Amino acid sequence: MKTKIIALGLAALTTFAAQPVIADEGFLPALSFAAGLLDKGVFPQSDLYTTDDNISIIADDGVNLDANVFVPTNLEGDLPAVIFINSWALNEYEYLKQAGDLAEKGYIVLSYTTRGFGTSGGLIGTAGPDDLSDYSKAIDFLIENYPVDVNAIGSGGVSYGSGISLMGAAQDSRVKAVAAMSGWGSLVEALYGNQTPRLVWAEILVLAGQNQGNPDPIMAEHWENIKNQNLAALPPIIEWANARSPINYVDQLNANGTAIYFSKAYGDNMFQANSLMDMFSQLTVPKYIDLVSGTHATAELIPPMTGIGEDIVWNNVYDWFDFHLKGEANKMADAKPVNMKVKFKDQSDSFEAYPIPEATDKTYYFHPRSAFDTGDLESYPYQSWRGRDNTINAWAGTIFSTQIPILSQILEQFEVPIYASIPLASKVRSIYFDSDRLSNPMQIRGEPSVTLQIQPKHDKVQLVAYLYDMDSLGTGKLITHGVMTLPNAKSGKKITVDFELVTTAYDVPAGHKVVLAIDTKDPQYKSPSSKNYAIDFEFSSKKQSTLTIPTL
């Protein structure tokens, strides 16, 4: 019953959020309503702090940035400070609750609206150079106008604010600690990972920017070129996106010694976890990450706004700032840096590093299906005196799917899995390979990967791989997925394709099977072609198709 109530409460927002692919006019009123909820927040009241909502920070180019500030009333010397940066399409009122909480703990808290959003001036910079300059200008303003301890400044934000906090701190060594929630590592990967346009979420970003802000026209132009696979236009887009990718600022963050807290949801298909985890592995500074269930920003928004579920992320953010800005001993002092919530279980595992040092790779080899049997995942390579192939067609999708974009991933946060009846899937439009029944549980921790030997029969093809936990009745529970698009394939040429699935933590019970299913379409992604093309999966003793799973 509780799950049904939650689903009903979220359905309106997420249904509208999925609409850009279908009908822009249906999406915009819902977006305006959602942004309006935070348009002019109600300030919390307390005797422990005062507030000022009439702040304008003037950027180096004269653009005004609207802001508010919370200042503790019992001032004794210089105080630690935190700067919050808004999420995409929101404004300086997004963090009122958190600003009040931190002010009660003795922090001066400034929240500002980035250029192009809310009532701030200028064009949306998409976390570009102007946004990073504005970030430092906000720090200047805080130091010049309030009793700030210049050795105890932190910043944070959700989504857009996360990326600006990371790149801003890389260029401004005055920032000692960052809380980067639901952010991205590589913007190239976020928009076009594995040459695949992220259709639903990118459409939402563009429409939200147009409806709730003043976008630089280059943003929509870049997305149209990505979406339509205009390969000639990609080099300048990649250069533009690389400048907006926190993973390219790791050396500066390491040099500054910035302590960084991250949070990331497994089902965040706006900014999938893999490039952020790559960035995390390269950092040598104090760091910590919470990997949780849900989708983009839901772990940061749903618990504090609804009271449903434990507010793991914000509680850890407060502890992170207390430890690194105030020097208070708390659980962060001895915490292992990687905390992974196990999907659909009341369990979290902690590790010293990522990739997980305790994990070893379990490799399965693909064996072809026949008229009487499905494809198999075996522990030994395929051997045959002659090669074989299995063919699928791309004229429609299948029941292998991430299902309803956004909504299905939100429901995973409330322990509602995505299911598929594996034996009922189309044998024409998809293929799957299953293992023997597991004699022991399989604890998956990290990024599974696939290597496929294929022969595309078209010049533009897409492969979507789904990893399932299948029970004795053939019901598959989606563990994770991955996608690869070949926008410039050579029809008829046999090739090897490698790609990773999204980071996850999942336990497959003993007695179940691991299933790797493949088709050619998913609602999350833009298909490269509307034509009915074929893909042959090739099997020979010389070139193997494999599935590799990191397991404890």
pLDDT at 371: 83
3-state class (DSSP) for residue 403: coil
Would 416 be classed as within a structural domain?
yes
**Angle, nearest 10°, between helix axes 217-227 and 234-242?**
120
Entry pTM: 0.92
Pairing of strands 148-158, 175-181: parallel
394, 521 contact by CB (below 8 A): yes
- Where in 21-63 does DSSP place strands (E)? 49-58
Pair 369, 225 in one domain = no
461, 535 contact by CB (below 8 A): yes
Pair 155, 295 in one domain = yes
Would 351 be classed as within a structural domain?
no
Would 344 be classed as within a structural domain?
no
Q: Which residues of 375-394 are buried (b: 16+ CB within 10 A; e: fewer)?
A: bbbeeebbeeeeeeebebbb
Pair 297, 384 in one domain = no
462, 429 contact by CB (below 8 A): no
Would 321 be classed as within a structural domain?
yes
Note the maximum CA span of the chain.
82
Would 63 be classed as within a structural domain?
yes
For residue 490, CA distances in Å to 455, 465, 467 come to 9, 21, 27
Pair 280, 366 in one domain = no
For residue 87, CA distances in Å to 47, 92, 192 come to 29, 9, 21
3-state class (DSSP) for residue 86: coil
Pair 322, 375 in one domain = no
Pair 224, 111 in one domain = yes
Number of domains in the chain: 2
139, 82 contact by CB (below 8 A): no
Pair 117, 264 in one domain = yes
Q: Where residue 47 sits, what CATH number does that domain have?
A: 3.40.50.1820
pLDDT at 308: 86
pLDDT at 39: 59
Pair 378, 314 in one domain = no
Listed residues 335, 369, 403: the one ending a domain:
335
Q: Give residues with Cβ within 8 angstroms of 374, minimum separation 6.
A: 432, 433, 434
pLDDT, tens only, 479-490: 999 999 999 999
Would 365 be classed as within a structural domain?
yes
Pair 305, 420 in one domain = no
The pLDDT tens digits along the chain (552 residues) read 333 333 333 333 333 333 333 333 344 444 444 444 455 668 999 999 999 999 999 999 999 999 999 999 988 899 999 999 999 999 999 999 999 999 999 999 999 999 999 999 999 999 999 999 999 999 999 999 999 999 999 999 999 999 999 999 999 999 999 999 999 999 999 999 999 999 999 999 999 999 999 999 999 999 999 999 999 999 999 999 999 999 999 999 999 999 999 999 999 999 999 999 999 999 999 999 999 999 999 999 999 888 888 899 999 999 999 999 999 999 999 999 999 999 999 999 999 999 999 999 999 999 999 988 899 999 999 998 788 999 999 999 999 999 999 999 999 999 999 999 999 999 999 999 999 999 999 999 999 999 999 999 999 999 999 999 999 999 999 999 999 999 999 999 999 999 999 999 999 999 999 999 999 999 999 999 999 999 999 999 999 999 999 999
Would 23 be classed as within a structural domain?
no
Q: What is the dihedral of CA 122, 128, 134, 140, to 10 degrees?
A: -170
491, 457 contact by CB (below 8 A): yes
The H or E element that residue 491 is part of is none
Would 486 be classed as within a structural domain?
yes
Pair 366, 232 in one domain = no
Q: How many CA atoms lie within 13 A of 84 on its CB side?
A: 32
Q: Where residue 538 sits, what CATH number does that domain have?
A: 2.60.120.260
Pair 408, 460 in one domain = yes
Pair 397, 273 in one domain = no
SS (HEC) of 245-294? CHHHHHHHHHHHCCEEEEEEECCCCCCCHHHHHHHHHHCCCCEEEEEECC
- CA 421 to CA 177: how far, in whole Å? 46
67, 93 contact by CB (below 8 A): no
Q: Burial level of 466, CB count in 10 A (0-12/13-18/19+)?
A: buried
The full DSSP string for 517-546 is EEES--TTS--S-SS--EEEEEE-SSS--E
Structural domain of 408 = 360-551
